Structure 1
Amino acid sequence: MFKQIFLLIKPGIILGNLISVSCGFFLASKGSIDKKLFFYTILGSALIIASGCVLNNYIDQDIDRKMVRTHKRMLAKRSIYENYVIIYGCILGILSICILYIFTNILSLSFALIGYIIYVILYSIYFKRCSVYGTILGGVAGAIPPLIGYCAVINKVNIEAIILFMIFFVWQIPHFYAIAIFRITDYISASIPVLPVKKGISNTKNNILIYVLIFTITDLLLSIMGYTGYIYFIISIIMGIYWIYLNLLGYKHCISYWSKKMFNFSIIIIIVLSLIMSIDYQL
């Protein structure tokens, strides 16, 4: 039971988002790390992401029952009271707001709340179910965590912060489209209007290529604008070119194998680049 309750917060999603929060924090810090601020930024971010995931589980329970990947979740199996889940999610959210308000600043808290509202209300309740553009809106929500970390340090939005947001936003589109292709049977069963379902796999592959190209260019802006050094620039080029190469393989390889490989590499590239941009000041 405890394990299932723990899984309601979707720990994998929390970990991925905390990597991006840390990336933004370290990029803004430039080596001068406020450990106490970092701890509370991570804690507050983890709690609000956990709250969003718990409430998303509540909202998505009817969808989860129709998907092979999710049909064994507690709410999908009706093995926990819905009211408990709502209270659980709200408590996590309130704790997060208090921590971010007391220990960071209003700007970081504002970004956290904006991402929360987009994900829980706009995306989960409506766009995910009703629009092929749900992925785009989800990408906006997913690109906000690095801004939470960044603004916790410098308490302002500048060109560097905007580029950081663009990098994480553009990255998420091919990442999620690859998932949608790999799990297309589930999305069809649950009647979720993702791009492969509505427009076809061929159209989706073309869109993935466009976004990967945009990501590769956008990613270089940090170095071009002088925010990171040549090590980051070189690694960005190499990994970007390889991601483009993988994308092109999709036009002649097995779709299931290719989409899973694209998904896996999308995780690798964002982790590696997040790490490099976090420590680039030392290179």
Structure 2
Amino acid sequence: MFIKPYIQVIKLGIVLSNLISAMGGFFLASQGQINCNRLLITLTGMSLIIASGCVFNNYIDRDIDLKMERTKHRAIPNGFISPKICIAYAMSLGITGFSLLYFMKNFLVMWLAIAGFIIYVGIYSLYMKRRSIYSTLIGSVSGATPPVIGYCSISNQFDTCALILLLIFSLWQIPHSYAIAIFRLNDYLAASIPVFPAKHSILVTKFHITLYIIGFMLAALMLTFNGYTGHKYLIVTVLVSLWWLGIALRGYEPINNDKDWARKVFMFSIVVVSSLSIMMSIDFVKNPSLTLYLDAENVSRQFFIL
């Protein structure tokens, strides 16, 4: 099918998962006052930008993709899309996405998107992924920008809540990615990609996964302790975080297959981040200063329409 390779290179699963977290930030800031036009523009612009980053990543990794079992059938290494067309495709997606955010007139959001894009494509994909075991730490910052962008598209300010969201989702990315590195370790070794478990052993990586899950849980609780979310969010966050931690701790028991354990850590990480995004969307606490800003925006928009 002609269109299938073009869908494959945008990594649709990554795009959709990032949109879930972006909506969490958006609805948290909206406090029940949903601006549907802004939601549509934000999500569409972000989708195109994330898709563009994924296409660029496919282009950059086209040589190592052939060496990895899970990626050797991708469209670019197999010639279904030429490198030149891939670059044009990525640029078209990115320019369209950034243009949408620009015309939304929220320049904070646009610059956050640019920063996330540069970190992912320029710093992580082009440089650090092939050179450093700490590339995951850099990539985690880029992966944490969607909820922050969703939040700031409404708040129009990088405040304490935005900083907490950045911290939460950055910390979540690391055990999520380290788990992938364990159950895909042979692929990374075949492609000579330095990953944490290859350098410091699987046991040390398990210890780091445990620490980062604890850090993630503490950061996630800060939304409630700082008055941005309610007790329902708090309860769900504690439960899913402890469940995730329990899965991680089982990795220290005598087990036959570290890969199966790592896959469970990875799969449940998706449950965790989805639960968090949903709960912050529905169990927000109204912030007086943000409410005043949203009310003023509604008045100005209605005046403009009249």
TM surpasses 0.5: yes
> Which residue is equivalent to 2:283?
280
Provide the aligned C-alpha RMSD in A.
1.2
Using the alignment, how far apart are the partners of 2:165 and 2:122 within structure 1? 24
Equivalent residues in 2 for 1:103-114, closer than 5 Å? 103-114=104-115
Match of 1:165 in 2: 166
Equivalent residue, structure 1, for 2:252: 251
Give the secondary structure class of the aligned counterpart of 1:67. Answer: coil
| Mapped partners of 1:23, 1:147: distance in 2 | 9
Q: Deviations over 1:75-109 (max 9, x none)?
A: 11123211100000001111011100002510000
CA displacement 1:174-220 (0-9 Å, x = unmatched)? 00000000100101001110101111101100100000111111110
User: What is the TM-score of this pair, normalised by structure 2?
Assistant: 0.91
Is 1:102 aligned to 2:103, yes or no? yes
The higher radius of gyration belongs to 2
Query: Aligned ranges for residues 51-70 of structure 1 at < 5 Å?
Result: 51-70=52-71
What is residue 218 of structure 2 aligned with on the other side?
217
Map 1:1-283 onto structure 2 (within 5 A): 1-252=2-253, 253=255, 254-281=257-284
Distance 1:157 1:78 in 2: 43
Amino acid at match of 1:144: T
Query: Could you give the per-residue CA deviations for residues 117-147 of structure 1, whole angstroms, max 9, x where no partner exists?
Result: 0000110011000001100011010001111
Q: Is the 8 A contact 1:41 1:100 kept in 2?
A: yes
CA distance in 1, matches of 2:75, 2:99: 29
> What residue identity is the alignment partner of 1:183?
R
Structure 1 unmatched ranges of 5 or more:
none
TM-score calculated relative to the size of structure 1:
0.98
Aligned residue pairs total 283
Contact 1:40 1:104 in 2 (8 A): no
Amino acid at match of 2:282: I
For the residue of structure 2 that corresponds to 1:200, the secondary structure is helix
Q: Is the 8 A contact 2:5 2:80 kept in 1?
A: no
Structure 2 runs not aligned, ≥5 long: 286-306
2:48/2:97 contact within 8 Å kept: yes
- 1-side partners of 2:112 and 2:27: how far apart? 17
* Distance across 1 between alignment mates of 2:55 and 2:215: 33
After TM superposition, what 4+ stretches of structure 1 lie above 2 angstroms from structure 2? none
2: CA distance between counterparts of 1:262 and 1:246? 6
